[in-house]
Amino acid sequence: VIVATAVSLADSEGLEAVSIRRVAAALDARPMSIYSFAAIDRKEELMDLMVDDVCAELLLPEGLPQHWRDALHAVAVRTRAVLVRHPWWIELIGRHTLVGPNGMRYREQTLAAVADLEIDVSLKMALVTAVETYTVGQAALAVDTTGPVARQSRSCQDQRQADRSYQQTLISTGEFPHLARIGSAWPEAPADRERFFLLGLDWLLSGAKAALADSGRRPSTR
């Protein structure tokens, strides 16, 4: 209950708005009652619980496709969707390693996706890690500046304008020929970013499939 309000506070106002005092206030509780309650001795522990809480959303209730490639694809797409909803998650994941029960269920789900693959267990881990890595990276870089949070839409908009014109100034020095040529291909719209994400995910999965087929004891192209 308490971590749910912390999560929704982080969603709507950003991670820096999540303070022990504000969470307590949102619950109409006295500021310090959080410490007495629920095994939270430090703020970090609340963060741990928040991380694990969104891990529950990463689980695919309807189960996984049978082919490992489709399964990993589904997991990655789902994970990306969830992390877009909770942009603060990736700020936390560096320090707070996935350790709670929901995090472990997520790991279990991802491993189940490659369970049928007949390759070395270490290679399985590498494959799962690669996909997870790519997905988390996408979430880290794709923080949506057009999203609902967009702190103070007015000043944020101004900031983007200023950044843009500053970049134009730098480009006009001629130091960045390739950047200048890119121009409009820069991915800004969320739809573009999703297209890029899916493209790279396909490359990664295809490359892994080819490499595993080459080196596998049995080709296991299914």
Which residues would be at the binding site for its own copies (CB under 8 A)?
87, 90-91, 93-95, 97, 99, 101, 104-105, 107-108, 111-112, 115, 121-122, 124-127, 129-130, 132-138, 140-141, 143, 145, 163, 166-167, 170-171, 175-179, 181-182, 185-187, 195-197, 199-200, 202-208, 210-211
Minimum distance from residue 2 beta carbon to its own copies (Å): 20
Q: For the CB of residue 38, give the shortest distance to DNA in the complex, in Å.
A: 11
Give the CA distances from residue 66 to residues 87, 191, 211, in Å, rounded to whole numbers and listed in that order: 30, 28, 20
Amino acid at 21: R
CB-nearer residue toward DNA: 36 or 173? 36
* Minimum CB distance to its own copies, residue 15 (Å): 10
33/153 with CB nearer DNA: 33
Amino acid of residue 217 = R
Q: Residue 154 touches which of its own copies, DNA, none (CB < 5 to 8 A by kind)? A: none
Count of alpha carbons within 13 angstroms of residue 45, beta-carbon side:
9
Q: Minimum Å distance from CB 203 to its own copies?
A: 4
Answer with the entry of its own copies, DNA, none that 30 interacts with (C-beta below 5 to 8 A by kind).
DNA
The secondary element (H helix, E strand) that includes residue 4 is: helix 2-13
Dihedral sign from CA coordinates of 93, 95, 97, 103: negative
Say if residue 90 is exposed, middle or buried (CB neighbours under 10 Å; 0-12, 13-18, 19+). Answer: middle
Q: What share of the chain is helix, strand, coil (3-state, %, to 5)?
A: 70, 0, 30
- Toward its own copies, which CB reaches closer, 29 or 99? 99
Taking the C-alpha atoms of residue 68 and residue 70, their distance in angstroms, rounded to an integer, is: 6
8 Å CB contact between 212 and 119? yes
Nearest residue (CB) to DNA, 27 versus 112 = 27
What are the residues binding DNA (CB under 7 A)? 18-22, 30-33, 35-36, 41-44
Of 154 and 181, the one with the shorter C-beta distance to its own copies is 181
In terms of CB distance, is 21 or 85 closer to DNA?
A: 21
CB of 56 to DNA, least distance (A): 23
The token pair that represents 40 in the structure block: 């939270």
Residue written as token pair 């589904």: 74
Separation CA 176–CA 174 (nearest Å)? 5
Q: Contact 127/79 with Cβ under 8 angstroms?
A: no
Which partner from the list DNA, its own copies, none does 19 bind, CB cut-off 5 to 8 Å by kind? Answer: DNA
